[in-house]
Chains A and B, each alone.
Chain A
Amino acid sequence: MRLSLLADLNAQRAARRAAVLVTDTASGEQRLVLDDEVDSDPLALELQERLRQGKSALVEQDGRQFFLAVQTPPVRLVIVGAVHISQALAPMAKGVDLDVTIIDPRTAFATPERFPDVPVLAEWPDTVLPEIKIDRYTAVATLTHDPKIDDPALAAALRSPCFYIGALGSRKTHERRIQRLTAAGFSEQDIARIHAPIGLDIGAVSPAEIAVSILAEIVSALRKERRRSA
């Protein structure tokens, strides 16, 4: 592999763009196919299918074997609320290769001191979320308990194809949330996308334990088709 090609591959990942590295396993010949070049590639149909599945695979064409190394954009976690649970969740999420961003308009909470090595945006979700493209590789967790901050984020998430939406709060809190979202025009089906109360039921108590339950639920949504009990 040429170093320049490896650098391009890493750059595509950093820019959250899908790409496929095509390798002829016999000759070692390689090319990097960018997302917008897929349709004009000789292996277009195979590439489209593999990108859709997000899976790398060995394919054959004209008696030659090609390995398609599919690189989808890194999975991203948008955490709304620079709260205590978020301080535990952010480093754990990074540990499972999630690309973490924290949003909280309260400047006392949203400080780099509280969240080393994680981008923290001291902005309102409705201001900043349209700039962050919430794609199907994104999970959104709202953790502030404050409808003024959480609701606009949930609305943006519900209008997006993101693969996971979770909202912190008791069942009672969620009932009131459902009423507000219904009044805002969301259907029952839309609102059913929200995992609430957030997290797998593991009896979590401390912020770190709740972070484990949230992260486990996100992984479970991400790997849905592999689950034995799906």
Chain B
Amino acid sequence: MLSTDTDILQAAEAWRREGRGVAVATVIETWGSAPRPVGSHLVIDQDTNFLGSVSGGCVEGAVITEALDVIADGNPRVLEFGVADETAWQVGLSCGGRIRIYVERVD
């Protein structure tokens, strides 16, 4: 598995077809020096297996946690991470950028 854009969305489809709960997280907006461009995907399953990335590894943990809730309740949501973002997740981007991420369940 190479984790290219093609692989990531194919994995999301394959995992769902296997009956797993699956969420797709997508970078929808960036400010400053964000590590991954708009449109980048992270795919997560119910057992926290994941593929792809939405940052350089800085916020994936928090996105995965949130994705589990999305898999459970089916409601898509928008997450925002920034430098020293202490209110939401105690995680931020060390590069000083800010990103918004859309997380949705595959139904």
Contact = CB atoms under 8 A, between A and B. Distances in A.
Nearest to B7: A97
Contacts of B104: 1, 23, 28
A23 B24 CA distance: 13
Contacts of B102: 23, 25, 67
Closest 10 CB pairs of A and B: A56-B39, A97-B4, A28-B76, A67-B28, A56-B38, A58-B29, A6-B13, A3-B16, A1-B104, A58-B28
Given A25-B28, A28-B76, A97-B4, A6 B39 contact: no
B90 interface: no
Contacts of B58: none
Contacts of A219: none
B85 interface: no
Interface in B5-42: 5-6, 9-10, 12-13, 16-17, 24, 26, 28-29, 37-39
B106 interface: yes
A44 to B, nearest CB: 20
A23 B107 CA distance: 15
Interface of A: 1-3, 6-7, 9-10, 13, 23, 25, 28, 55-58, 67, 69-70, 74, 94-97
Contacts of B76: 25, 28
Contacts of A6: 9, 12-13, 16, 24, 106
B71 to A, nearest CB: 12
B9 A74 contact: no
Nearest to B27: A56
A58 B78 CA distance: 12
A3 B105 CA distance: 9
Contacts of A2: 106-107
